Amino acid sequence: MKTKSEWEDLEQKLQNALTQNRYRHTLGVSYTACALAMRYGEDLNSARRAGLLHDCAKCMSNAEMRQLAKKKKIEVSAFELEHPALLHSKIGVYVAGSTYGITDPRILEAIRWHTTGRPGMTLLESILFTADYIEPNRDKAPRLPELRRLAFTDLDRCVYEILHDTVDYLSDNPKSMDPMTLKALEFYRNRIVEADRQDGCSAR
């Protein structure tokens, strides 16, 4: 999907499926993901598509998402059923495939993990996860100017800082924390510590 009209079709379809604000966020994520892809050498079309589709199920009702999960035998955990905000990534994978014809497993996985992150994300997954947090329409998270800069200088460290702030924010309400986010935080903490240690060694 590379021609102008194919992007137009996709955008038109998404515009109909999403609220105006969600669509604006979607475009913001898509273009931010493209900018990060330019910086880190990821395929632009994949980043653009992942950004466009990441929230394709976000405007479905909880009942609709549960129903679809049941009908299509999409495995959902008890935790996800209790916290429907987490369901839209998993349901999004199905909708991206069935409604929008996305077959590339790299894009589908990026959609799958965009909310919680996971240990050892691929470049495309890290790009989408980060773009979702820093896109220009976001204004609530703390430290956005710093994280936006960091995203373009050290992506792993930015992923770590986003996970850190997310866990910090959710710790007011620990019951809503997906265990995967904690696993991801630990993974990226170790990665950062290791990178700093190697830096220290090479400086000597």
- 8 A C-beta contact, residue 30 and residue 24: no
Query: 47: closest CA among 90, 119, 115, 104?
Result: 104
Task: State which residue, 19 or 198, has the beta carbon closest to Fe ion.
Answer: 19
Query: What is the x/- site pattern for Fe ion, positions 29-48, by CB under 5 A?
Result: --------------------
Residue 198 Cβ, how far from Fe ion at the closest point, in Å? 33
Task: State which residue, 125 or 132, has the beta carbon closest to Fe ion.
Answer: 132
Please choose, out of 53-61, 70-78, 101-109, 154-162, the segment that lies near Fe ion by the rule CB under 5 A. 53-61
Task: State which residue, 55 or 161, has the beta carbon closest to Fe ion.
Answer: 55
Binder of Fe ion out of 55, 80, 161, 178 (CB under 5 A): 55
Please choose, out of 64-72, 104-112, 128-136, 151-159, the segment that lies near Fe ion by the rule CB under 5 A. 128-136
H-type helices in the chain, by residue range? Answer: 4-17, 20-40, 44-53, 62-71, 78-82, 84-98, 105-112, 123-134, 144-151, 155-170, 179-203
- 8 A C-beta contact, residue 55 and residue 88: yes
Q: Is 178 in the site for Fe ion (CB under 5 A)?
A: no
Give the three-state DSSP class for 164. Answer: helix
Q: Is 132 in the site for Fe ion (CB under 5 A)?
A: yes
Task: State which residue, 80 or 132, has the beta carbon closest to Fe ion.
Answer: 132
Rounded-to-integer distance, Cα 159 and Cα 130, Å: 6
- 8 A C-beta contact, residue 111 and residue 89: yes
Q: Is 135 in the site for Fe ion (CB under 5 A)?
A: no
Please give the residue ranges that form the binding site for Fe ion (CB under 5 A).
55, 132
